[in-house]
Amino acid sequence: MSHVRSPIRQKWVTNTETYGKITEDITRPIESKPNPIWLAATAFSGLVMTIGFALIGWTMWKGIGTWGLNPTVGWAFDITNFVFWVGIGHAGTLISAVLLLFRQEWRNSINRASEAMTIFAVLCAGLFPILHMGRPWLGLWFLPLPNTRGSLWVNFNSPLLWDVFAISTYLTVSLVFWYLGMIPDFATIRDRMARAGRKVAAAIYGGMAFGWEGSSRNWSRFEIISLILSGLATPLVLSVHSIVSMDFATSVIPGWHTTIFPPYFVAGAIFSGFGMVQTLMIVTRKVYKLENYITMDHMESIAKIVIATGSLVGFAYMTEFFIAWYSGSLWERYIFINRAFGPFGWSYWIMFTCNVITPQLFWFKKIRTNMVITFIISIFINVGMWFERFVIIVTSLHRDFLPSSWASYVPTWVEAGIFIGTFGLFMFCFFLFSKFLPVVNMFEVKTLLHHPKKPAHLEAGESGTSESVSA
């Protein structure tokens, strides 16, 4: 739609002059046959996922004795992976909800894929606490349901229970937000499939489109509820990771019971999530030729958020160290010196290098606009943020108050395999999504096209519909 627009503003849609072209470009992967690379990648991630599930089965069969945990280090890979995946999810909600409230137009073409990333990441995250219970089939006991066990109720004072509520609310609200946003796009695909005579596809996408026809009255309602959902999801972004951080912060373990944890975790979550968004978007825009919709300006905007959140995370690391010294608590001070120079010191320096130093490279425009280097940096961020959680959890636990119970921790192949398996699950879901669902939000991108040209089908002199009677 056209309205007066300053020439200094970026164009978020390039080389596109008609609404029809947007539809064609974005539905192309759905309408065409899967290419061999996609098939191979999906099959490979499916295989990794299957191995992961087999190891989950082994864990359930034998018990969590198959993991490397011990009485001192009672949380390690499992909770690290849980926090890692939940954190990744946060960028999706930030892009879809917070940036909508801030009227950031560049969110329109990356929100769909980021929300998908959120959902798949939260699915991966959810596996770990359930498995760590040891008897996952009793997971229902987490819910405050009337029961015949006493009746025994859950502990509402426990952050672990807050997590159950936070994660399930986060997952279901994100899912609804994501699906709702896809309804108009499903309708577009339905009508394209019907025009192409592909009846089965039209019926499937039509079923998912809920009979959407794009009436103005419904668009009006649709926009309002999108806005309200964003308003509801925005505090969710902050609350979920704050609650995850309270799993640690409300305990009395040195290195964990700090008041900085909630904002520090939220900044870290957004940082890691944007790292993953970079990884996925660089590949997606290239493979599906979406450079006109996910432009270099988009990639730069993401990089700028990475600098901001990466610096916040770095600031938090230093604040933690300062407060550990300033608190005068011997245990606190020891834990932090042990973190950086103890037996797990290597993991601390991996974390510090990846999260504090590498994102600073994005200050240079040459690096921000070089997709190969950006991709490598994004991988560094993913690695660094995984290590951050590992450092927080394992180094705080392995040397507790009593030196006689000090212990080390080495993961077993079962734990490592389950972790790699969740990458398989995540990528498998993402590949399926990128083939069968519209990766870019078509109707929102169309609102960014200013001064459209006459559609090609009208230039050729075709009539609108076969049924309509010309006046």
Q: Considering only residues 144-163, where is the footprint of another protein by CB under 8 A?
A: 144, 151-153, 155-157, 159, 161-162
Q: Is 328 in the site for another protein (CB under 8 A)?
A: no
Q: How far is the CB of 443 from another protein (least distance, A)?
A: 4
Site for another protein in 331-370 (CB under 8 A): none
**Residue (54 or 228) nearer to another protein, CB:** 228
Q: Is 225 in the site for another protein (CB under 8 A)?
A: yes
Q: Is 253 in the site for another protein (CB under 8 A)?
A: no
Q: How far is the CB of 103 from another protein (least distance, A)?
A: 12
Q: Is 205 in the site for another protein (CB under 8 A)?
A: no
CA-to-CA distance for 336 and 317, rounded, in angstroms?
A: 10
Site for another protein in 20-49 (CB under 8 A): 20, 23
Site for another protein in 257-296 (CB under 8 A): none
- Listed in sequence order, the DSSP H helices in 250-295 are 261-287
Q: Which one of 10, 57, 223, 322 is in contact with another protein (CB under 8 A)?
A: 223
Q: Is 220 in the site for another protein (CB under 8 A)?
A: yes
Interface region with another protein, contact rule CB under 8 A, candidates 347-355, 361-369, 418-426, 437-445? 437-445
CA-to-CA distance for 22 and 27, rounded, in angstroms?
A: 8
Q: Is 219 in the site for another protein (CB under 8 A)?
A: yes
Instruction: Say if residues 129 and 422 touch (Cβ distance below 8 Å).
Output: no
Residues binding another protein: number (CB under 8 A): 81
Q: Is 229 in the site for another protein (CB under 8 A)?
A: yes
Contacts by 299-305, CB closer than 8 A, 24 or more apart: 299/368, 299/369, 299/371, 299/374, 300/365, 300/368, 300/369, 301/104, 301/106, 302/110, 302/274, 302/277, 302/278, 303/278, 303/362, 303/368, 303/374, 304/362, 304/368, 305/270, 305/274
Three-state DSSP class for residue 255: coil
**Residue (13 or 306) nearer to another protein, CB:** 13
Q: Is 2 in the site for another protein (CB under 8 A)?
A: yes
CA-to-CA distance for 440 and 144, rounded, in angstroms?
A: 39
The token pair that represents 402 in the structure block = 């009593």
The token pair that represents 1 in the structure block = 């739609």
Q: How far is the CB of 364 from another protein (least distance, A)?
A: 37
Instruction: Say if residues 289 and 25 touch (Cβ distance below 8 Å).
Output: yes
Closest CA to 271 of 282, 259, 283, 263: 263
Q: How far is the CB of 367 from another protein (least distance, A)?
A: 35
Site for another protein in 54-93 (CB under 8 A): none
Q: Which one of 52, 68, 206, 254 is in contact with another protein (CB under 8 A)?
A: 206
Q: Is 135 in the site for another protein (CB under 8 A)?
A: no
Q: Is 465 in the site for another protein (CB under 8 A)?
A: yes
CA-to-CA distance for 130 and 146, rounded, in angstroms?
A: 21
Q: What is the dihedral of CA 437, 439, 444, 450, to 10 degrees?
A: -130
Q: Is 439 in the site for another protein (CB under 8 A)?
A: no
CA-to-CA distance for 259 and 263, rounded, in angstroms?
A: 9
Q: How far is the CB of 234 from another protein (least distance, A)?
A: 10
**Residue (43 or 232) nearer to another protein, CB:** 232
Closest CA to 320 of 362, 271, 274, 356: 356
Non-local CB neighbours of 448 within 8 Å, separated by 6+ positions: 12, 13, 105, 108, 109
Site track 164-203 with another protein (rule: CB under 8 A), x = hit: -xx-xx--xx--xx--x--xx--xx-xxx-xx--------
Q: Is 111 in the site for another protein (CB under 8 A)?
A: no
Q: How far is the CB of 144 from another protein (least distance, A)?
A: 6
